[in-house]
Amino acid sequence: MIIGNKNFEGHTYIMGILNMTPDSFSDGGKFNTVDSALKHTEQMIAEGADIIDVGGESTRPGYVHITPEEETERVCPVIEKIRANFDVPVSVDTYHYQTAEAAVKSGAHLINDIWGFRYDNGEMAAVAAKYGVQVCLMHNRKVPEYGDFLNDVVNDLAESIRIAEKAGVDRNNILTDPGIGFAKSFEQNLELTNHLEVLDRLGLPVLLGTSRKSMIGLALDLPSDQRIEGTLVTTVIAVQKNCLFVRVHDIKENKRAITMTEKITGKI
């Protein structure tokens, strides 16, 4: 999969999280100025991040919704500065098509949508098709009720893919994300992480995002700033299940975990 001028294949890569938010569950307010964001971006790249994911609205439980205009004001100046200063692909973490379009115009290569193009009436898919950018379609549901959980997740993502392709998005530009922590119980999050291979039925690359999430906190009874070991375990699983990306906060540690796992399994 090509994102920006980088070709991603045959390996598990790192998407570094850059939250331009005052209320993120894990690092809210730490990097929400342009200068601090750029310094953190530089650090993440030095530690092994392969793509930077810029978000302007927290999606933690109970998060405060903001307008697309406010979200755009948070992310676009940073995207522009990252593109001007670093040779790294950039994604924008948004489900607002207005923000996505502004971000792509500012230099974002990928739209990372937590609603998998199912939040609006096709506007986000149209933006992605118009600009020919890559997309990450995450699984989510407004009502977390399932009949056959794993199959329902796959079928929901298949619908997101259909929406994308109907709008004109190239299938080669699509990543999928199982949506750990979204519209799922603790037990369902564990089950899906353990059976990521079900997404292979979609025939598309997979991104796993579990970094510091509540699944880890509940499993280990730890606050968000003490969940790195739990995150590393999920990263090892991601490598074993052939995920193309992991989306994480702690770059250095996850990079080491990926390298060690890939050496053991013969992937590198």
Catalytic residues: 213, 247
Show Cβ contacts of residue 46 under 8 Å, excluding neighbours closer than 6 positions: none
Angle, CA of 218, 223 and 224, to the nearest 5°:
100
Q: Tokens representing 245?
A: 């990306």
Q: Could you tell me which of 179, 231, 192 has the C-alpha nearest to residue 26?
A: 231
Look at strands 13-19 and 174-177 and give their pairing: unpaired
Contact between 15 and 247 under an 8 Å Cβ cutoff? The reply is yes
Q: By CB neighbour count within 10 A (0-12 exposed, 13-18 middle, 19+ buried), where does 208 fall?
A: buried
Task: Fill in the amino acid letter for 56.
Answer: G
